[in-house]
Each structure stands twice: as C-alpha cells, then as structure tokens.
C-alpha cells in the first residue's frame, strides 16, 4: 500500500513537471533579447574599463621610467602594483562573464535562434535594447 502511494505520488510529480514545461510557449525574441541585454552591456562596460586600465598602466609605467631616481618612484611602483592587481581582478571577471555569455548564446542558438531570420531579428532587438540602456559598443 505504501509503495503504491509513493509510486502514485512520484508519477503525479513527473506529470506535473512535464505538463508545466511542455505547455509553456517559447519566449518571444523580444523577451530573449531583453534578458540577454544586461549581460552584453556588462561585457561592453568591462571591456571599456579594461582599455582605460591598460592606458593608466601604460601612463604609470612611462612616468616611472621618466621619474627614475625621483622621490615619486616608490609611490608610482605602489600605484603600478595596485593597477596590476585590479587588472587581474578585472580579467577574471571578464573571463567569467565571457563563459556565461557563451553558454547562454549556445543555448539560445540551439533552442530558439535556429533560423537565420530569428538570429537577425535577435541582433536588431539586442542592439535596440543596448541603445535604450545607453550601453553602446564603440567597436
């Protein structure tokens, strides 16, 4: 009796889960683009921050070379150390975000963006969302 009740409960749970997942319509391309846009915006922002950081590192290195023997050398070395630590942190963030974007896009391409026209529409919607978010790609 107890096995029958457990089996019935398990069957009911499986049917409930399968009915919930199979009856849901696929998300619209608008929803997909809206959900993906913040991740893409974060990637654009991180790239711009990496470029700015690289410029600051180069400027600090150039200043350090010209300030050889000057009193500011210790301060510049300390600043360069902090900038390099920030570079490592930002690199790790960028790599993690890139992995998330790749996994998300792989899933979208295999499940929702299977037709060329869907991909093109997704790109248009994504660009519009990024523009609305004031997050544009300068490249």
- For residue 80, count CB atoms less than 10 angstroms from its CB and return exposed for 0-12, middle for 13-18, buried for 19 or more: middle
Q: What is the pTM of this model?
A: 0.77
Each residue's pLDDT, cut to its tens digit, for the chain (139 residues) gives 444 333 333 334 444 444 455 567 889 999 999 999 999 999 999 999 999 999 999 999 998 888 766 668 888 999 999 999 999 999 999 999 999 999 999 999 999 999 999 999 999 999 999 999 999 775 5
pLDDT of residue 25: 85
From CA 130, how far away is CA 82, in angstroms rounded? 32
């Amino acid at each position: 009796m107890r096995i029958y009740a457990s089996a019935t409960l398990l069957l009911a749970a499986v049917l409930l889960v399968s009915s919930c997942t199979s009856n849901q319509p696929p998300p619209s391309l608008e929803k997909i683009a809206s959900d993906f846009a913040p991740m893409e915006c974060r990637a654009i922002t991180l790239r711009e921050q990496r470029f700015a950081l690289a410029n600051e590192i180069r400027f600090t290195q150039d200043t350090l070379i010209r300030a050889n023997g000057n009193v500011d050398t210790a301060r510049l070395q300390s600043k360069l150390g902090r900038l390099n630590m920030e570079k490592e942190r930002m690199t790790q963030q960028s790599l993690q975000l890139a992995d998330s974007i790749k996994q998300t896009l792989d899933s979208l391409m295999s499940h929702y963006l299977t037709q060329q026209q869907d991909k093109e529409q997704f790109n248009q919607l994504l660009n519009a969302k990024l523009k609305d978010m004031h997050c544009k790609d300068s490249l």
